Structure formats: structure tokens, C-alpha cells
């Protein structure tokens, strides 16, 4: 497949991650794992096999690094590539505000709502854990 394709649909998140890794980042599983701070390729392999799913900050990083739409990555809908020529403001994660609005507008789709809730929950839990670790360091 060509990375210029406008709408590329893959049935699973793992297939989309693999496509991003191979076509946009041009990295091996091991290289991507190291770039994301993991010691081995097993983590990336498990994502691509749909054994585990990456946490929300990993999805944000993948979308940003590969310059692909977070909406496409999470929801498997819409255009894969971001329009970089649009001077629209972005969030701290490099995600365009209209992408966030698109996710919110499609909130009523159960698969999108469930996935986003799961990702947000993971993010909240990670922040709680980091907060507890910081508290422990200060003692």
C-alpha cells in the first residue's frame, strides 16, 4: 500500500500500528520498542498481534511521530494523513483540535466511546501512579 492513500482501513488497532511502523516510521519492531523506551520488541509485537494495547501516551506519540491522524489510529475512520499545511493550532501532543472535535462528535459510536474511555482511564491511572511515586521520592 502507498502511504499517500487517503483512507486506509484496517480491522484492528494492531494492524494500524504495524502499518504506521512499517510505512511511515520505517522501523523494525525492536527499533520502535527502543525509541519508545521499551527493552525488547515483545511489547510492540504484542500490540501488533492485538494481545495488548498501548497506553494512550504511546498512541499519541505514534500519531505525532508518524504524522498520522489520531482519529484514524483510534477509530479506524477518516483520512490517515494529517494536513500539515493547515495553520490550525495543535494541542501539546501535536494533535489538531479538529481531530479532537471529530472524536467528540463521534462519541455516540460505542466502539469509539469505549476505546477513548479506556485510554483516558489508563492516562488517569498513570498520573495517579506517577504522583504516588513522586510522593515516595520526596519522603
- pLDDT tens for residues 22-73? 999 999 999 999 999 999 999 999 999 999 999 888 988 898 888 888 888 8
pLDDT value for 73: 87
Residue 3 has pLDDT above 50, yes or no: no
- The conformation of residue 69, written as its DSSP 8-state character, comes to -
pLDDT of res. 100: 66
pTM, two decimals, is 0.59
pLDDT digits (tens, 9 = 90+) for 83-133: 544 444 444 444 556 666 666 676 677 666 666 666 666 666 656 655 665
- Whether the Cβ atoms of residue 71 and residue 38 lie closer than 8 Å to each other: no
Dist CA 18 CA 20 (whole Å): 5
User: Class of the 13-138 domain?
Assistant: mainly alpha
Q: What is the pLDDT of residue 75?
A: 82
CA dist 67 and 40 (Å) reads: 24
How many whole angstroms separate alpha carbon 24 and alpha carbon 43?
Answer: 19
Cell digits of residue 5:
492513500
Q: Where are the alpha helices (DSSP H) in the chain?
A: 13-19, 29-35, 42-48, 56-66, 70-75, 97-105, 110-138
Which band of pLDDT confidence, cut at 50, 70 and 90, is reported for residue 4?
A: very low
Amino acid at each position: 500500500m502507498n502511504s499517500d492513500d487517503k483512507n486506509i482501513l484496517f480491522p484492528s488497532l494492531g494492524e494500524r500500528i504495524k502499518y504506521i511502523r512499517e510505512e511511515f516510521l520505517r522501523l523494525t519492531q525492536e527499533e520502535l520498542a527502543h525509541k519508545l523506551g521499551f527493552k525488547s520488541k515483545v511489547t510492540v509485537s504484542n500490540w501488533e498481534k492485538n494481545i495488548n494495547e498501548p497506553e494512550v501516551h504511546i498512541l499519541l506519540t505514534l500519531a505525532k511521530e508518524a504524522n498520522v491522524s489520531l482519529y484514524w489510529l483510534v477509530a479506524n475512520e477518516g483520512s490517515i494523513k494529517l494536513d500539515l499545511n493547515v495553520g490550525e493550532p495543535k494541542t501539546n501532543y501535536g494533535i489538531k483540535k479538529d481531530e479532537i472535535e471529530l472524536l467528540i462528535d463521534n462519541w455516540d459510536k460505542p466502539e469509539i466511546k469505549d476505546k477513548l474511555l479506556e485510554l483516558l482511564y489508563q492516562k488517569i491511572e498513570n498520573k495517579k501512579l506517577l504522583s504516588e511515586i513522586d510522593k515516595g521520592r520526596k519522603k
